[in-house]
Structure 1
Amino acid sequence: MLACYWLRCAFLCSVTRRPPKGPSSSEHPQGAIQAGIRFVREARHLHGYLFRAIAFVSCGSALWALCHYP
């Protein structure tokens, strides 16, 4: 069992990765975030989903905040 683990580790360490051929995207992160915000603002079908997700996360956070830790 342990031999299989070490063989797998040796194989993964011997494999070399090829560098990507070029930039995957010419868009900067800030521009991508702004485009995503514009999309969500204009996509009416996502508003209900986002409202439910925000409500779930906020209630879950409140529940974790009320948990007693020794």
Structure 2
Amino acid sequence: MRTDQYSGSVENRQRFLLETIDSVAAEIAGSKTDVGCSPFGHLYDACIYDGENKFRRARQQHSMSGN
């Protein structure tokens, strides 16, 4: 099991996405930056549960950070 800053809690797992969005937006116009996420899917034998709520929370967290 991973124990770095990008694992564990939902917030930690969303950190990579949010930091990537911020980095890309810093290099190009932020108004031209968008992300598409699918809340449904499977990776190997693992099913992504509650993905829609996780993406919604990531969007809200990013909006609250002023980005």
Larger-Rg structure = 1
TM-score, scaled relative to structure 1:
0.27
Higher relative contact order (CA 8 A, sep 6+): 2
TM-score, scaled relative to structure 2:
0.27
